[in-house]
Structure formats: C-alpha cells, structure tokens
Amino acid sequence: MGNENASTVQILTWFLIITSILGVGARGLTKAILVRSVSLDDYLITVALLFAIGQSVAVSVEAGHGYGSPSDPLSRSQATRNLKSEYAASLLYVASLGFAKASVVALVNTLTPIRSHRRATYGLAIFLFLWAIIGEIGTAFLCHLPRPWDYLEGHCSNDTIRRTWWNYFESTNIITDLALICLPIVVIWQIRISLSRKASVCSFFALRSTVIAASACKLVFWNNTQDLQKPGHNPWTVTLCTQIIQSLSIVSACFLYLKPFLDSVESGFIRSDDIRRRGTNEYHRHHTATTTGGSSTTGSAFSTKKHARTGSQSIGLVGVPHPRHITTVTANDPPDLDAGSQHSRTHIIKETRTFAVEGSANEQ
C-alpha cells in the first residue's frame, strides 16, 4: 500500500467512525424521545463506540507513519510507532466488537420474560464474554514480552502463528454474529404479533449479516497476504475490512432503536421490561370515578400474558376490553290515592326518571 492508499485508509476510517457516532447519537435521541429510559444496552454500545474511536485514532497514526509503504524503507522510529499503533488498534478492535455484541444480547434479554429464552441469552452472554477475554489475551501476547507489539526481530515465533490467530478470531467473530441473528429471530417468532410485523422486526436483526460479509472478505484478503513479517505490509484491503467490521457492528446495533424498529414493536413487547421491573405480570388498572347525579367507571390495562397449559408465553401491550353490565332503574312515585281529588298536590307535575348503572367486570 503506497502513500495514496494510506490516505484512502485515513479518510475512510474517519468516515466510518463518524458514521458510527451519528448512529449511536440517532439511537440515543430516538430512544430519549420515544422510550425515555436508559438501559444496560445503551451503556454497552457507548463503551463500544469509545473503543472504536480510540481504534480509529490508532489506525490513523499508523497510516501517518509510513504504514504500507514497502517502496520507502521505514526508519527504526517509524517502524516502532507503526508497530505500537497496530498493536493498540488490534486490542481496541477486539474490545469494541465485544461490547457491541454485548449490547445486542442485553437488548434481546429485555424482549422476553420466557425462561428458556433468557437462559439462552445468558448462555450467549457468557460465551461472548469468554470470546472477548480470549481475544484480548491472545492479541496482547501474540508476540513475546517485553515487546509484545514487535513482530520483527524474532519477538513472534513465526508468520504462521499470527495468520492462524487472526483466522481463528475472525471465524469465531462470524459464528457469534450468526448467533446474534438467530437468537433474536427465535425470540421474536414466538411473540404474538402479526407475521408482517415479525418479518419487519427480524429484518433489523438480519442487517448484522453485513458484518459477516465484511469478516469473510477480511479472511480472504488476509490469507492472500504473502509476507506478514514486515511492518506496514498488510494489504490496505485488510485494514479497510477491519474498519468496516467495527463500524457495522456498532451501527447494526443502533438500527434496532431507530423509529421504524420501534414502530414495528409498538405492540408493546419492548415495554414488557418495564412491566417486569415493576415486579408483576398481572393487569395494571387505573380507574377514575365521577359522580354527577350518577356514576361511571373507566379503566385500561396493559398485560403480559402467560399460558400455563401450553407452556408458552406471549408479550404484548394488550388493551383489555371491559365488559359492562347495565341495570336500568326506574324511579316513580307510588300510586296516588288522591288522583280524583281537587287537592293542590294533584296539580304537581311529576317526572319519571331512568338511571343507567354501569359497572366494569373484574378481570381474572
């Protein structure tokens, strides 16, 4: 990669990180307006963005110190800065991916109270945690101490180990992204909403397939690289794929909180987390009563239903109809014994009144 390609890497790196910042900002703004709450997944995606910003800075520094310029021999100081920047960028890249994936798992966990689904999300969360920890340790100590960033001058065993390590990491990255697509689809498919709405919601999670495509491209370019033992000789396509993977991992998580997604789940299963935090699965009622010569009772309910017989559960914002019993009471005077008399009371105008008494039946 010559100087022209180094400039291309810098430009696209900053374009992608700005896209990630705008994505997280749009997500936060939309959620603040429509949901008005902050949850664990928001903190996780914010941390992922911070790591991504640091990684982008490291890549820019790397590109600015002769990265990918085999025709121009690097000085020892340039090579050292290059290697340290590459080392830092790799560590931050792994951390950013880990937190971005954890954000999606945290969101999926709020979509369902079903025990089996939540166990699956916990299992995936543990797997992702171990995957990220192994990734950080493996990347940090890929070369020998005390100069783990220096894969020159015999600090790394050989070229094969580096190639094998990153093949492992990106392959498992693809596997975890597949899990982050399949698990939400399984959860959503058991929610009692229309088929079109299910397809709409699932399509947002399926957007993560773009990350898988970028990871596959990176593997192809990485394995076509002939010499990995020289600083800056990684093809610029590998660097770009790395930046694209990182950006798409963050942005695809932000898509899940843009307004079209929230409209698709307007039936309420996102709000089920709020119901669960209030500690009840029963109906929540609010009744108002007024008495102005009569009485009336109105109410509404939002519910999370459990079907004990089938073992299935459905989550939804359900408007519960209120059956009403109407009793008509007619008030009239008793028979007038003086109907034929000329007494003054017989000239009083009499009125028959009918009262309708409405009552809401108690839901079980």
Question: What angle separates helix 3-34 from helix 236-254, to the nearest 10 degrees?
Answer: 10
The DSSP string of 261-323 is HHHHTTTTTTTHHHHHHTT--S-----EEEESSSEEEE-----EEEETTTTEEEE--------
Q: What is the mean pLDDT of residues 245-260?
A: 86
CA distance 249 to 45: 10
Q: Which of 4-13, 55-64, 151-160, 234-243 has the highest mean pLDDT?
A: 55-64
Q: What is the mean pLDDT of residues 206-216?
A: 95
**pTM (2 decimals)?**
0.71
Mean pLDDT rounded to a whole number for the chain? 75
Question: Which has more pLDDT, 255 or 24?
Answer: 24
Read off the pLDDT of residues 264-316 as tens digits, 9 standing for 90 and up. 555 444 444 444 444 444 334 443 333 334 433 333 322 333 343 333 333 33
Q: Is the dihedral of CA 174, 176, 177, 182 positive or negative?
A: positive
Calculate the CA dihedral of residues 96, 99, 105, 109 and round it to 10 degrees: -150
Give the pLDDT score at 197.
82
Read off the pLDDT of residues 110-163 as tens digits, 9 standing for 90 and up. 888 888 999 999 999 999 999 999 999 999 998 888 888 887 765 675 678 888
CA distance 160 to 83: 18
**pLDDT-based confidence at 323, cuts 50/70/90?**
very low
Per residue, the 3-state secondary structure of 55-119, as one string, reads HHHHHHHHHHCCCCCCCCCCCHHHHHHHHHHHHHHHHHHHHHHHHHHHHHHHHHHHCCCCHHHHH
Q: Is 80 exceeded by the pLDDT of residue 340? A: no
Read off the pLDDT of residues 37-65 as tens digits, 9 standing for 90 and up. 889 999 999 999 999 999 999 999 988 76
Give the pLDDT score at 149.
86
Give the pLDDT score at 303.
34
**pLDDT-based confidence at 325, cuts 50/70/90?**
very low
The DSSP string of 5-57 is HHHHHHHHHHHHHHHHHHHHHHHHHHHHHHT----HHHHHHHHHHHHHHHHHH
Q: What is the mean pLDDT of residues 241-268?
A: 78
Give the pLDDT score at 80.
82
Give the pLDDT score at 34.
79
Give the pLDDT score at 283.
36
**What long-range pairs does 199-202 form, CB within 8 A, spacing at least 24?**
200/260, 200/264, 201/261, 201/264, 201/265
